[in-house]
Amino acid sequence: MDKSITLSRSYFVPLLLMCLVLSALIAVGIEIISGRAGSWLELWPDYSHMVGNLDEPLARLRWIVGDISEVAFYKHELPALGLLAGAALAHWANRHGKRWQGFAICYGTGLWPWLVSSSLLGLALSHVLWGWTLSSGTWQPTFVAFVSLPAAMVLLFGAGWKVALNGALLGALLVTPASLLLVNFLCYPLQLPVVIGNVGGMAIASFLAFLLCRRMPWLVRSTPQVDARPSVAVPSAKPDYGVVWILRRVLADFTEAPFFGNELASLGLLLGVMLAYFISPGGPAYGSQLVLEIIAGQALASFIGVLLWRPQWRRLGWYPTYIPIVSVVPAAVLTLGGSWQVIVLSAALGALTAPPLAHAISRRLPDYVHGYIANVLSMAICTLAILPFVRLVTGVMP
């Protein structure tokens, strides 16, 4: 069979999916621009409607599913479902050796089913134990277990229900309450960006959990046999680090926070949030209507970071250029507004400082903890330092 025919067939499924989704987005955009969409757009409730009706099952379900995309500051069920669908496709493509799979999901470990199961279970347990905090009427970090300890434990200790279940349980028992405490008793009183409390709780609780696993190895069967930290993961095939690789890497950075790191998962996430924004601008990103500004800043931060730290990518195989995407940039845009000055300055400073700081911290961590702790510490430190500077330079008051 002709090689070109085989190659074209291998790309058929993702291209077809992309065309269908893009066609839907264009159709919705035309309806909005023409003014014909007003009647049916109101059928999809916005963020304020969800927050104001959390005692209703549907609104509560939307909040829980929206937690899956909260790490990117999108907070909506459509990007959450798009993320999971794209990740499932990426895992299937990885298992079947498809050329269009992109960067191997979950760093080529093959652990995505265990990782996502543990993360989802941790999220569910967190809502069972701490869902009552939402009755206060203020935003609460119920999402943190989905993007922290459960996934990190699976990557560090390997597959198996014992690891997945204990990771989910420790995530709900340690990570979520730690972030709740920091957000409510540090960030809110001092008027700090809540991302500092989110990631601070992840770091503190995860370190305690890994220390517990070291003292009680029966929780995970044994001590880790292989250091599976992303900071040392080496791709199976050496890339050329050219223009195409840079663009792919920027796209994959959008799903590094949930430990996926894959272009198909990122496409699902981004197409989902764009669809959510088109059908209800007040739905995603906490109803701020700053979705486009947030995405632009995130893409710019990753692009600057990948270009700037490409030698580190080449030398180490992985480098945390994704950090400002889920910390500095969206926090700056939501706090200070979506002006180009805020976007550019926060993206540039985040890309310049956050990755090397995370790498420096990671090198000093003990080998029994996952390196993501260094990444979330860098998120907290850089957000705390950069936002006041951006405010000072731009003259924008929160």
CATH number where 71 lies = 1.10.3430
Answer yes or no: do 198 and 343 share one domain.
Answer: no
294 is in which domain, residue-wise?
Answer: 290-398
Answer yes or no: do 205 and 73 share one domain.
Answer: yes
Answer yes or no: do 242 and 144 share one domain.
Answer: yes
Both tokens assigned to 158 = 């390997």
CA distance 25 to 21: 6
Q: Does 371 map to a domain?
A: yes
CA distance 220 to 155: 12
Q: Does 359 map to a domain?
A: yes
pLDDT for 71 beyond 80: yes
pLDDT for 14 beyond 80: no
pLDDT of residue 117: 96
Q: At what angle do helices 161-170 and 112-130 cross, to 10 degrees?
A: 30
Answer yes or no: do 52 and 124 share one domain.
Answer: yes
When pLDDT is averaged across residues 75-99 and rounded to a whole number, the result is 95
The pLDDT confidence band at residue 45, using thresholds 50, 70 and 90, is confident
Q: Does 334 map to a domain?
A: yes
Answer yes or no: do 60 and 101 share one domain.
Answer: yes
pLDDT for 392 beyond 80: yes
Return the closest-CA partner of residue 108 out of 271, 304, 318: 318
Q: Which of 256, 272, 288 is the last residue in one of the domains?
A: 288
Residue 157: strand, helix, or coil = helix
Residue 348: strand, helix, or coil = helix
Residues whose CB falls within 8 Å of the CB of residue 237, separated by 6 or more in sequence, listed in order: none
CB 172 within 8 A of CB 126: yes
The 10s digit of each residue's pLDDT in 182-195 is 999 999 999 999 99
Q: In what helix (H) or strand (E) does residue 162 lie, and over which residues does it extend?
A: helix 161-170
Answer yes or no: do 240 and 319 share one domain.
Answer: no
Answer yes or no: do 19 and 166 share one domain.
Answer: yes
Prediction pTM value: 0.87
Answer yes or no: do 295 and 284 share one domain.
Answer: no
Answer yes or no: do 316 and 205 share one domain.
Answer: no
Mean residue pLDDT of the chain comes to 88
Answer yes or no: do 195 and 311 share one domain.
Answer: no
Q: Which of 230, 263, 288 is the last residue in one of the domains?
A: 288
pLDDT of residue 31: 52
When pLDDT is averaged across residues 155-163 and rounded to a whole number, the result is 94
Q: How many domains does the chain have?
A: 2
Q: Which of 250, 272, 288 is the last residue in one of the domains?
A: 288
The pLDDT confidence band at residue 229, using thresholds 50, 70 and 90, is very low
CB 94 within 8 A of CB 107: no
Return the closest-CA partner of residue 272 out of 96, 22, 82, 93: 82
Answer yes or no: do 254 and 388 share one domain.
Answer: no
Answer yes or no: do 277 and 326 share one domain.
Answer: no
